Amino acid sequence: MNAVYDDIDRFAAVVFDMDGVLCDSEPFIREAGCLMFQRAHGVKVSPEDFKPFTGMGEDRFLGGVAERHGVKLTMPDDKRTTYAIYLELIKGRLAPLPGAVAFIQRCRQAGLKLAVATSADRVKMDGNLSQIGVPPEVFDVCVTGSDVQRKKPDPQVFQLAASKLGLSPSQCLVVEDAPEGIVAGVAAGSKCLGLTTSFTAETLRGRGATWIAPDLAHVPDDLMQRLAPGR
């Protein structure tokens, strides 16, 4: 039977977003998107065009920019092309963000369950995690945009991750960097640690983040106490 964890007790699991939390793949996926639009549609777009659609999954990531530029995408071919370019771009270049690997190890040593819950498709998650030396097998559960019908800010991805862990969302700490991800985590019933790798602390707090940190090397002490081994 699962225990019930309240505000003064410890979390049972940590659920990580991937991009902007474990690694900074945004520059590479934006570059890949720009190259796809140029090669497939002869249209020049800017990396900044993609920023409003960060964290929403690649369908919206590409689709939002296409709408702005009046481009009719050919899906799923354009997405496959983007991923093929992306996987070449990250080879030997994508690294874990500061503190990510050590934090994962510390959580595992504390007996916490671990999950990844990303809006990205499985192919991108597998490529990213392998590149940063934390393969999917490190986690108890991995949920991707391929596994859900509704992407963030809908809470479905976090609800599914918690369910697969055998826990309620309230027992899980969600680690996110995007406003849409914070909204999704809060809507699922989880408390959120917002990392300012992509957006400001004010923005993330405004969406409901309980804790704020620049990266996983600087997690607040009061939160670390809730991630300590159980008494």
CATH number at residue 186: 3.40.50.1000
The last residue of one of the domains, among 70, 89, 108, is 89
Cis? peptide before 76, omega within 30° of 0: yes
- Cβ atoms within 10 Å, residue 62: 25
In a domain, 77, yes or no: yes
Q: What is the pLDDT of residue 230?
A: 58
Spatial contact of 44 and 97, defined as CB atoms under 8 Å apart: no
Angle of helix 179-188 relative to helix 156-165, nearest 10 degrees? 50
Q: Give whole-number Cα distances, 94 to 20, 25, 29, 33, 133, in Å.
A: 12, 7, 11, 17, 10
Same domain, 162 and 188: yes
- Cβ atoms within 10 Å, residue 42: 8
The last residue of one of the domains, among 43, 59, 89, is 89
Same domain, 83 and 113: no
pTM of the model: 0.86
Same domain, 163 and 202: yes
Token digits for 140?
């108890």
Q: Which residues does 81 contact at the CB level (< 8 Å), separation at least 6?
A: 36, 39, 40
pLDDT in tens, the chain (231 residues): 344 444 447 899 999 999 999 999 989 999 999 999 999 999 999 999 998 887 677 888 999 999 999 999 999 999 999 999 999 999 999 999 999 999 999 999 999 999 999 988 899 999 999 999 999 999 999 999 889 999 899 999 999 999 999 999 999 999 999 999 999 999 999 999 999 998 999 999 999 999 999 999 999 999 999 997 754
Residues that are catalytic: 17, 19
Q: What is the pLDDT of residue 9?
A: 74
Spatial contact of 101 and 217, defined as CB atoms under 8 Å apart: no
- What residues make up the domain containing 151? 13-24+95-226
Answer positive or negative: Cα dihedral of 105, 160, 119, 186: negative
Same domain, 41 and 133: no
If one counts the domains in the chain, the total is: 2
- Measure the CA dihedral 179/180/181/184, to 10°: 120
Same domain, 134 and 205: yes
Task: Round the CA-based radius of gyration of the chain to a whole number and report it.
Answer: 17
Same domain, 197 and 214: yes
